[in-house]
Amino acid sequence: MGRITEDLIRRNAEHNDCVIFSLEELSLHQQEIERLEHIDRWCRHLKILYLQNNLIGKIENVSKLKELEYLNLALNNIEKIENLEGCEELTKLDLTVNFIGELSSIKSLQHNIHLKELFLMGNPCADFDGYRQFVVATLHQLKWLDGKEIERSERIQALQDFPVIEQQIREQEEAYFLRRAKDKEEAQRRLQEEREEEPEEGRPGAGGRCSSSLENHEYLQAQGMQDGEQNKKKLADSEDDLGFWNKPSLFTPESRLETLRHVEKQRKDQERLREKKKKVKPPRTLITEDGKALNVNEPKLDFSLKDDEKRNQIILDLAVYRYMDTSLIDVDVQPTYVRVMVKGKPFQLVLPAEVKPDSSSAKRSQTTGHLVVCMPKVGWFAEW
């Protein structure tokens, strides 16, 4: 689950040269944030704050944002409007598709005298009979509700009917609170069941690894066993996944969190599978059983091999990355082949003639950064 950190804010403050104290606009949407924190201390001068499509369950820690004009908290898990009294310049508030059932909590917005636009569509309270009239009568400063302008005649009528509407809203709120209490109990029960059914970490054989000295046939045998275990696990996981998505579920804050936990678990399982596949790799064959060297270019580098007959030497020009540290390169010249390890990956080339390893030299080109290996041939004398 995401949290609001200084690093996260800086990464989203590139338009302000990553300076956060003077930020006027900040977008932290789709970050899986569960709690509103720190922003009122780190970004006091914010005017626009986007926090839509997260998992925020409560409006808090924004009261010191005195200059905030627009707050977008759409698609979160908020159930009550609160703690916005300190946002003195707030003119637009978007709470679309949350879980606000306590409609009377809009009374806390009466202190926000500059509030002109409010969005509550997609909340349980928006389905209450008399919802719009109640909001219009309660918030006299409001000009627009759910994208629709509030006419003067509409406000007059809402104020006249307010005593009756207020009673209706109170009764609907009480019925909603009872349903929510049952929903919470059900969510708690399901969570407990999931924890009890959760398998223990590490199934037998799941942690198997191949040592670097493993022979090819042993590797293939181990790989086959692991693939079988992974296929079984994948089948079981796909059945569990299908069961999860086909299972009836209420649209509640708890169900959103449950869905996120399920998706997060799938992602971690996939990462673990990928890590296991990375760990179990076949050993790279550089020399065959009968002692024959093979040509290998694992780092996928361009190269040229030149036979310098004038100086009676073979020259290898290997296009290693120009700015790579030389300490990451290791050269090994043998009579019949040359091997270069580049960041642990082998480049090996069979030579067209036998060379003298002790007289060979390797250096980086100052112009291209390439590795140049000069290898004198055996049995000949260089012409000078």
Please indicate, yes or no, if residue 140 is contained in any of the structural domains.
yes
Same domain, 171 and 310: no
Residue 223 confidence (pLDDT) above 70: no
Please indicate, yes or no, if residue 77 is contained in any of the structural domains.
yes
| Average pLDDT for 88-109 | 96
Ramachandran region, residue 122 (left: φ > 0; alpha: ψ -120 to 50; beta: rest): left
23 burial (CB, 10 Å; 0-12 / 13-18 / 19+) is buried
Give residue 225's pLDDT.
Answer: 55
Contact in structure between 26 and 48 (CB atoms under 8 Å): yes
Which H/E stretch holds residue 272? helix 253-279
The encoded tokens of residue 377 equal 């041939």
The CATH code of the domain that includes 73 is 3.80.10.10
Domain boundary among 139, 155, 179: 179
210/275 Cα distance (integer angstroms): 13
Give residue 366's pLDDT.
Answer: 86
Please indicate, yes or no, if residue 210 is contained in any of the structural domains.
no
Give residue 152's pLDDT.
Answer: 95
| Average pLDDT for 147-157 | 96
Q: How confident is the model at residue 137 (pLDDT cuts 50, 70, 90)?
A: very high
Give residue 253's pLDDT.
Answer: 78
Please indicate, yes or no, if residue 310 is contained in any of the structural domains.
yes
In tens, the pLDDT along 173-191 reads 999 999 989 888 887 887 7
Contact in structure between 177 and 101 (CB atoms under 8 Å): yes
CA–centroid distance for 370 within its chain: 37
CA–centroid distance for 156 within its chain: 50
Q: How confident is the model at residue 215 (pLDDT cuts 50, 70, 90)?
A: very low
180/184 Cα distance (integer angstroms): 6
Give residue 382's pLDDT.
Answer: 44
Same domain, 151 and 12: yes
Residue 296 pairs with which residues in a beta bridge?
Answer: 348
Please indicate, yes or no, if residue 187 is contained in any of the structural domains.
no
Give residue 281's pLDDT.
Answer: 65
Residue 164 confidence (pLDDT) above 50: yes
Residue 219 confidence (pLDDT) above 70: no
In tens, the pLDDT along 262-313 reads 777 777 778 777 777 666 667 778 888 888 999 999 999 999 999 998 889 9
Please indicate, yes or no, if residue 185 is contained in any of the structural domains.
no
Range of weakest confidence among 130-144, 236-250, 295-309, 343-357 = 236-250
Give residue 209's pLDDT.
Answer: 35
Residue 232 confidence (pLDDT) above 80: no
In tens, the pLDDT along 375-384 reads 999 875 444 3
The CATH code of the domain that includes 347 is 2.60.40.790
| Average pLDDT for 197-205 | 51
> Which of these, 274, 277, 284, lies nearest to 216 by C-alpha position?
284
* 33 secondary structure, DSSP code: B
Please indicate, yes or no, if residue 280 is contained in any of the structural domains.
no
| Average pLDDT for 351-367 | 92
Residue 233 confidence (pLDDT) above 80: no
In tens, the pLDDT along 14-71 reads 887 878 888 999 999 889 899 999 999 999 999 999 999 999 999 999 999 999 999 9
| Average pLDDT for 311-337 | 91
- The percent of residues in the chain predicted with pLDDT above 70, rounded, is 82
Same domain, 174 and 323: no
Domain that holds residue 310: 296-376
| Average pLDDT for 302-330 | 91
Choose between 278 and 93: higher pLDDT: 93
Please indicate, yes or no, if residue 284 is contained in any of the structural domains.
no
Q: How confident is the model at residue 250 (pLDDT cuts 50, 70, 90)?
A: low
Range of weakest confidence among 4-13, 209-218, 244-253 = 209-218
Average pLDDT, whole number, for the chain?
Answer: 84
Give residue 267's pLDDT.
Answer: 77
| Number of domains the chain is built from | 2
Give residue 202's pLDDT.
Answer: 43
Domain boundary among 159, 179, 199: 179
Domain boundary among 179, 201, 223: 179
Same domain, 157 and 13: yes
Residue 218 confidence (pLDDT) above 70: no
